[in-house]
Chains A and B, each alone.
Chain A
Amino acid sequence: MTTRTTAPPRQAAASDGTGQHRPSRTLKGERTAAAWMISPALVLFILFLIIPIVLAFGLAFTNTRLISPRPGEFVGLDNFAYLFTDPVFWASVRNTFAFALVVVPVQAGSALLLALLVNAKVRGTNFFRTVYFLPVVTSMVVVSLLWRFMYEKDGLINQFLGRVTGGAYDPIDWLNDPVWALPAIMFMSIWQGVAFHMVIWLAGLQTIPAELYEASEIDGANKLQQFRYVTWPGLRQTATLILVTITIASFSLFTQIAVMTQGGPLDSTTTVVYQAVRTGYQQLQTGLASAISLVFFAMVLVISGIQRYLTRERS
């Protein structure tokens, strides 16, 4: 990411003292204009981004409640001490990691396969891309509710599996089974989001020059070798980006849980964000919820740091 614009030489020349009067006047006008144009965004960023970040740090060390006449008191590390002895919190950390550990590679991988499939020079690319994309434009709340219905014990999915196996299949009560609830939610989440990342892979695929494919064809490379030595190296940057965005999204797992299982059965699907919302909103414990949010943020930060390190450009 570049954080600096390269000032064109003309501007640099204007500001280095040639012609004393006009440049200083225009420069002042430029600053005034800049101040007017950036301040609305800046005020909003400070109010709704910077202050909440600072608050998350501050409130995590207090026993502040959402609605309470008494102001919160400083309690040191009590919130964290409580969290680390709370089995439900540990369950939520475990579930969050399990979810990310499965969803990140599977979703990124299937998205790449889909992209390769859609990228093939065969008629109907537009149509199929549109159809695959439908779940992405459908809201997660709707998707979760729809799949909750399909996952019912005598629901569409079990009926279908029973049909296909000719009755040999013993129906699983997907969302009420502590073993199957989380995998069921993983499957649905991938179904919903995979086409989003397919499109990002597609954009990456299109940046690979066709000449490279021609050259490798002349050299007698087969499809697999082409992928290994032409396609994959060309997708490096895209891969990093996809990895980071899927990771952050899967760590933030909330809506599916809230709509489908409320963390159950037996805390087998509760997640860190779900716990934060339950604590901070339903139980009104803002202090404790901020502590959970901080732990969550630390998790995201560490994981994306590791990913960036592992996928860094080696020179």
Chain B
Amino acid sequence: MTATEALVLPDVDTPDRATRSRPPARRRVGITVVRGALAVFFALPIVFMLISSLKPDLQIFADLGSWRALAPVGDVSLDNYTGVFDRVPFWQFLLNSVVISCATVVLGVLINSMAAFALSRLRWRGRGFVLTVILATLIVPFETLALPLLWWVNKLPALEADGFSLAFTQGWLNTYHVQIVPFIANAFSVYLFYQFFSSIPRELDEAARVDGAGWFTIYSRIVMPLSGPAIATVSILTFLPAWNSYLWPLMVIQSEELRPVMVGLQYFFQLNVSWGQVMAYSSLITVPVVALFIAFQRSFINSIASSGVKG
């Protein structure tokens, strides 16, 4: 993983890179101009979203034909945001998404890393077979499983706590856990942890064994504390799809109080669309992730890059 880190940070002047010549000045200017044009291409729609979220619908439409569409000028206010808060229980949606994403990330890191530890560090019969099966499932897209899974979770028993009495009910539809539990075990996360653990020297295990440490202690006190980069990668690669998930909650959730933010967006584009409010809601659910991305840029980029060095 340290190799990956060096790989994807082109700004770091490693000695062998420094020997590569910089392009001549004219070329540098050319490259920067092209880069700048592309930056506009990629950023413009997002800037348009943020700017439009501050304007009433009439103003948005009036500004479309000029530079004003991309500038906070005219009738600028936070009215769309207050409109959003009036129209949907935004904080509830946000809380749901945070709970679902964080639970999936935390449980996913824990369970997948333990599995990877057993697969890479411990000797037991059937290990090779289990690993092969887990890796083979990497090729199955979630979309293939979504419909059979929908039928299946509707058959699963659920333990419902009603006050102090417990009762079994049928079907996982319309719950928190149906949005979390199916996504905890993840073949790709197991694979990433497995790869990383294999790079940690086994001498550390041996030394700890001599000192009388059990396997779980070795996992939690030695291997995991050394696995920061892998934990970051798995967390990000679990968090993004969990936060962005749309298809699954759309199918399994009916009640408003369990809905995550992405499905909440539906309220705004189905009946009498107010584009100002759509943009405000979109900005509200995009800005936190963009802020996280900018704050943890290195980890984000490295996660994606390390997903590429497999194979």
| Cα(A126)–Cα(B39), bound, Å | 12
A206 near B140: Cβ-Cβ < 8 Å: no
B141 near A252: Cβ-Cβ < 8 Å: yes
A7-51 residues with Cβ-Cβ distance < 8 A to B are 7-8, 10-11, 15, 26-27, 29-31, 33-38, 40-42, 44-45, 47-51
- Determine the chain B residues whose CB is within 8 A of the CB of A237 once the complex forms: 311
- Determine the chain B residues whose CB is within 8 A of the CB of A199 once the complex forms: 8, 301, 304-305, 308
Tell me, rounded to whole Å, the shortest Cβ–Cβ distance linking A188 to chain B.
9
User: Which of chain A's residues has its CB closest to B291's CB?
Assistant: A137
Question: Counting CB contacts under 8 A, is A134 at the interface?
Answer: yes
Question: Counting CB contacts under 8 A, is A240 at the interface?
Answer: yes
A25-79 residues with Cβ-Cβ distance < 8 A to B are 26-27, 29-31, 33-38, 40-42, 44-45, 47-53, 55-56, 59, 64, 66-67
Question: Counting CB contacts under 8 A, is B207 at the interface?
Answer: no
**Known contacts being A37-B114, A133-B301, A199-B301, is A248 close to B32, with CB within 8 Å?**
no
Interface residues on chain B, number (Cβ under 8 Å):
114
**Known contacts being A38-B119, A45-B134, A137-B240, is A290 close to B282, with CB within 8 Å?**
no
- Determine the chain B residues whose CB is within 8 A of the CB of A131 once the complex forms: 39, 42-43
**Known contacts being A41-B111, A202-B305, is A48 close to B38, with CB within 8 Å?**
no
| Cα(A125)–Cα(B9), bound, Å | 9
B150 near A56: Cβ-Cβ < 8 Å: no
- Determine the chain A residues whose CB is within 8 A of the CB of B204 once the complex forms: none
- Determine the chain A residues whose CB is within 8 A of the CB of B184 once the complex forms: 44
A42 near B130: Cβ-Cβ < 8 Å: yes
B149 near A48: Cβ-Cβ < 8 Å: yes
B215 near A29: Cβ-Cβ < 8 Å: yes
How does the 8 Å CB contact mask read for B125-139 relative to A, with 1 for contact and 0 for none? Answer: 101101110110101
Residues of A contacting B: mostly: helix
Question: Counting CB contacts under 8 A, is B221 at the interface?
Answer: no
Question: Counting CB contacts under 8 A, is A191 at the interface?
Answer: yes
Contact stretch, chosen from B16-24, B71-79, B87-95, B161-169 = B16-24
Partner of A191, one of B42, B146, B190, B294: B42
Partner of B148, one of A15, A52, A130, A138: A52
Question: Counting CB contacts under 8 A, is A145 at the interface?
Answer: yes
| Cα(A210)–Cα(B250), bound, Å | 49
A139 near B244: Cβ-Cβ < 8 Å: yes
- Determine the chain A residues whose CB is within 8 A of the CB of B96 once the complex forms: none
| Cα(A292)–Cα(B124), bound, Å | 39
B140-192 residues with Cβ-Cβ distance < 8 A to A are 140-152, 154, 181-185, 187, 190
- Determine the chain A residues whose CB is within 8 A of the CB of B309 once the complex forms: 203
- Determine the chain A residues whose CB is within 8 A of the CB of B134 once the complex forms: 45
| Cα(A211)–Cα(B32), bound, Å | 26
Tell me, rounded to whole Å, the shortest Cβ–Cβ distance linking A243 to chain B.
11
B181 near A7: Cβ-Cβ < 8 Å: no
Q: Which residues of B are interface residues toward A (Cβ below 8 A)?
A: 4, 6-8, 10-11, 16-17, 19-23, 28, 31-32, 34-36, 38-39, 41-43, 45-46, 48-49, 61, 64-65, 69, 111-112, 114-115, 117-120, 122-125, 127-128, 130-132, 134-135, 137, 139-152, 154, 181-185, 187, 190, 198, 202, 206, 209, 214-216, 219, 240, 243-244, 246-247, 250-251, 262, 265, 268-269, 275, 278-279, 282, 285-286, 289-290, 293-294, 297, 300-301, 304-311
Q: Which residues of A are interface residues toward B (Cβ below 8 A)?
A: 1, 3-5, 7-8, 10-11, 15, 26-27, 29-31, 33-38, 40-42, 44-45, 47-53, 55-56, 59, 64, 66-67, 114, 117-126, 128-143, 145-150, 154-156, 159, 162-163, 191, 195-196, 199-200, 202-204, 206-207, 209-211, 213-214, 217, 237-238, 240-242, 248, 251-252, 254-255, 258-259, 273, 276-277, 279-281, 286, 289-290, 292-294, 296-297, 300-301, 304
| CB-defined A-B contacts under 8 Å, sample of 27 | A5-B119, A5-B120, A11-B123, A27-B123, A31-B125, A35-B118, A37-B115, A41-B190, A44-B185, A47-B182, A49-B187, A114-B38, A128-B35, A128-B39, A134-B46, A136-B304, A139-B246, A140-B246, A145-B278, A149-B279, A191-B45, A195-B42, A202-B8, A211-B16, A280-B146, A293-B146, A293-B148
Closest 10 CB pairs of A and B: A200-B308, A44-B185, A41-B115, A33-B215, A280-B147, A203-B305, A55-B148, A48-B182, A206-B7, A34-B122
